[in-house]
A and B are shown apart, each in its own frame.
Chain A
């Protein structure tokens, strides 16, 4: 079974600070990581490979420093990584077109796995977009993936409904965070990952002259200003002080 996992390098949103002068989020130098739910997608891919054999290739559209992050994916169990350097300006159209072209170049595939959304932007756009571009079925928000030789059955969380969808291959599946617990690689696996290949592709070699159809014209920071009063005294005293404060705030009515 040939499995593709789409993995994005993101800034760790919990580390983002807001510049007090410009009121913009400080992204330069912020810690980078692989988006959490993409690791759930890889974990699911590893389970599929354990059952059916085959090969796992991860695809990332990102800057050169994403290579370090891709090594984490290889340590977890991916066989090969692909890093596509994006053009200067990027949007979902550009990213998903590059992913689609890179996947076509990788060759025949049975399953493409994605996280339901990335933890930085949380659009959840790339998975279904990619399925539309490749004209293959999509199974989104999968909570459980049950893969047989000729078809896959998934339980999906659709909010007020639980929907079970099945499909033959090839198919794109997006997974939720609850589907599994991504493994932590052992030291041996981390060392072994150094010998696994990371293929680099440029945007131009995949699709020349690709331009965004949506421009980000501004990014405004939202600072959270709270009073941060913490009562740590004797518990009865703390509770009394809290209730007095809430009464003054006018929320006890």
Chain B
């Protein structure tokens, strides 16, 4: 059996498409795990044949309990291939589960397929410098996949399947969640942006983000990104603007990095961009090695001039 779970429904839809393909190759069925019936019905519309609905009092995600539920679901369905959405929750769940089962696990796969009758996955390693192709030689095989790697099947509400309600036992764990707060977001989606102007440590004050925004606006990209220090350390921008290895990975047609030194962790988040422009006052800055075009200069002098020049050019 192939089993799908994600705490993010959209990723689960995408994984169901891949699960359908893998299930066909192995002559197996597509199962999913959900925590309510409404979600289970949606999973049928996207390709699930059986859905286990776990009834639990642990309403907030906790990896310890959820790994126990998944372990039970794997036993119940005799699942051999398990696809889990690569959210932060999904990754820690998959890893814990793999530890409990002594199973193989591949995190953040950007491709999954069957080769020589074995589940095979590809993932980016060494900060984007290499792609590792890995193959399971044992079962179960656990793979986590980020959003938008696979396209979901066309939604078909006429499809139905069987729902199995289960009350699995979880061990008693000494940990508990005491508080959950929604993080402040900037409401941007850098992953879908066509043009991004990003800033880094070269920025001296939070209010100066407006000069970044002004350039983004004339470029009709309107999207401002940033490197780790701006979002994670200084918190001048919410984390949805953060581009990098542990932030968002982007591929706009134009990426402008202003006052960003070009640490490899940042490059890993933007290296797939179409055209990359770097503005930095340090001619030795690493960012120039990863850029198509660069200007050596202070962003406070360059950006206003660039904004004006772009405005003139675009009429």
Contact = CB atoms under 8 A, between A and B. Distances in A.
User: Do the two chains bind?
Assistant: yes
B164 interface: no
B136 A245 contact: no
A228 to B, nearest CB: 7
A61 to B, nearest CB: 15
Contacts of A246: 254, 275, 277, 293, 310
A182 interface: no
A161 interface: yes
Interface residues of B, number: 92
Interface string A115-144: 011011111111111111101011111000
Interface residues of A, number: 86
Select the residue from A96, A221, A222, A244 with max chain B CB neighbours within 10 A. Answer: A222
Contacts of A216: 132-134
A242 B98 contact: no
Contacts of B137: 212-215
Main secondary structure of the interface of A (DSSP, over half): mixed
Interface stretch (B14-22, B26-34, B83-91, B206-214): B83-91
A14 B130 contact: no
B302 A239 contact: yes
A125 B107 contact: yes
A13 B309 contact: no
A252 B253 contact: no
B114 interface: no
Contacts of A252: 219, 310, 313-314
A167 to B, nearest CB: 4
A121 B306 contact: no
A214 B296 contact: no
Interface in A232-253: 232, 235-236, 238-240, 242-247, 249, 251-253
B88 A141 contact: yes
Interface in B243-295: 245-246, 253-254, 263-265, 267, 271, 274-277, 283, 286, 288-295
B184 to A, nearest CB: 9
B185 A121 contact: no
Interface stretch (A51-59, A66-74, A152-160, A193-201): A152-160
A252 B295 CA distance: 18
Select the residue from A227, A239, A247 with max chain B CB neighbours within 10 A. Answer: A239
B288 A13 contact: no
Contacts of B178: 153, 164-166
Given A132-B67, A168-B174, A226-B291, A96 B99 contact: yes
A239 B133 contact: no
A164 B175 contact: no
Nearest to B140: A213
A245 B293 CA distance: 8
B176 interface: yes
A132 to B, nearest CB: 3
A232 B276 CA distance: 17
B176 A124 contact: no
Given A18-B130, A213-B104, 9 more contacts: A123-B108, A125-B107, A132-B98, A137-B175, A216-B132, A227-B291, A242-B295, A246-B275, A252-B313
Interface of A: 11, 13-14, 16, 18, 24-25, 91-93, 96-97, 116-117, 119-133, 135, 137-141, 153, 157-168, 171, 176-178, 212-222, 224, 226-232, 235-236, 238-240, 242-247, 249, 251-253
The 6 nearest A-B residue pairs measured at CB: A132-B99, A137-B175, A129-B99, A167-B175, A128-B95, A213-B104
Interface of B: 63-64, 67, 87-89, 91-100, 102-108, 120, 124-138, 171, 173-183, 185, 195, 219-220, 228, 232-233, 239, 245-246, 253-254, 263-265, 267, 271, 274-277, 283, 286, 288-297, 301-302, 305-306, 309-310, 313-314
